[in-house]
């Protein structure tokens, strides 16, 4: 199985800060990686697909990038509405696997 | 409106069975993969499994922890996906989501609201 190691597990930042979350795959997954945002008690919401493509309707402050097997989700200017848990997911091979999640808190 | 709606969750004893349903609307159900994903209380997301489309003979994939106990099926004529869960264990307690993917390598772009399954005596 492909392991997705996500870091940090929690982070606290101020409104307007640039925030970066990293996800490392245990083997090559090409660019078959997605990022999701989940708020408490709600279903996940797709933010980024194929490592760097922004889902329709998602604010442009969210972006994704890849270097080898390391994937990054960046929020360019953190907003109060961004308080949530973020998950990466590899879509390359079965079983599909998720990272452990990053909880983002607003200071 | 494109949506998925799960139903069938509830309380079941260890060793028991439960069948979940997921109804799709607002899109051509048969053209999409629709998977099951679960989330134990306070934990992260875990993919449960997938049934492929008719063009792929409705073949299935499962995570190892449910293989042999869970069965996923779909009825495209009813725009519905099912999860038959047998020999349930306490560790199967979770919110179960169905989620849509456009293709083999696609992300999940539409999620249902989830249905809670509690396995407890």
Task: Summarize pLDDT for B47-99 with one digit per residue, the tens.
Answer: 999 999 999 999 999 999 999 999 999 999 999 999 999 999 999 999 999 99
Which chain B residue has the Cα nearest residue A93? B105
Which chain B residue has the Cα nearest residue A43? B113
Q: Are A29 and A69 in contact (CB under 8 A)?
A: yes
Residue B104 confidence (pLDDT): 83
Spell out, as residue ranges, where chain A has pLDDT lower than 70. Answer: none
For residue B16, the cross-strand partners are none
Contact A46 B64 (CB under 8 A): no
Distance CA B113, CA B66 (A): 22
Q: Can the peptide bond before residue A96 be classed as cis, meaning omega within 30 degrees of 0?
A: no
Distance CA B107, CA A93 (A): 12
Which residue, A26, A37, A14, A47, is CA-closest to A102? A37
Q: Classify B95 as helix, strand or coil.
A: strand
Contact A45 B111 (CB under 8 A): yes
Which chain A residue has the Cα nearest residue B65? A95
Query: Which ranges constitute the DSSP H helices of chain B?
Result: none
Q: What is the dihedral of CA B38, A99, B30, B26, to 10 degrees?
A: 80
Report yes or no: A43 at the B interface, CB cutoff 8 Å. yes
The per-residue pLDDT for range B9-38, each reduced to its tens digit, is 999 999 999 999 999 999 999 999 999 999
Chain B residues in contact with A96 by the CB 8 A cut-off are 35, 47, 50
Residue window 45-104, chain A: list those with CB within 8 Å of chain B.
45-46, 49-50, 55, 87, 89, 91-92, 94-101
- Angle, CA B92 vertex, CA A35 and CA A104 arms, to 5°: 30
Which chain A residue has the Cα nearest residue B41? A41
How many alpha carbons lie under 13 Å from residue B37 in its C-beta half-sphere? 28
**CB burial readout A16-39, b (16+ within 10 A) else e:** eeebebbbbbeeebeebbbbbbbe
B103 pLDDT higher than 90: no
Which one of B44, B61, B109 has the shortest CB-CB distance to A98? B44
**Residue A67 has which token pair?**
């270097």
Which one of B46, B61, B113 has the shortest CB-CB distance to A98? B46
């Amino acid at each position: 199985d492909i392991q997705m190691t996500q870091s940090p597990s929690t982070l606290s930042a101020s409104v307007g800060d640039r925030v970066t979350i990293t996800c490392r795959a245990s083997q090559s997954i090409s660019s078959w990686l997605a990022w999701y945002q989940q708020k408490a008690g709600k279903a996940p919401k797709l933010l980024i697909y194929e490592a760097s493509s922004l889902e329709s309707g998602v604010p442009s402050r969210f972006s994704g990038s890849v270097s080898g097997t390391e994937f990054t989700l960046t929020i360019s200017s953190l907003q109060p509405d961004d308080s949530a848990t973020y998950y990466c997911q590899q879509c390359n091979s079965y079983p599909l696997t998720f990272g452990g999640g990053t909880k983002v808190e607003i200071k | 409106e494109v949506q998925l709606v799960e139903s069938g969750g509830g309380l079941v004893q260890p060793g028991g069975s439960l069948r979940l349903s997921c109804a799709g609307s607002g899109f051509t159900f048969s053209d999409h993969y629709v998977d099951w994903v679960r989330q134990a209380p306070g934990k992260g997301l875990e993919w449960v499994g997938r049934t492929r489309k008719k063009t792929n003979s409705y073949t299935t994939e499962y995570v190892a922890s449910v293989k042999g106990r869970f069965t996923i099926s779909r009825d495209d004529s009813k725009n519905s996906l099912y999860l038959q869960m047998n020999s349930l264990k306490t560790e199967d307690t979770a919110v179960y989501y169905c989620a849509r993917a456009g293709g083999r390598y696609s992300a999940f772009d539409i999620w249902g609201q989830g249905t809670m399954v509690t396995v407890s005596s």
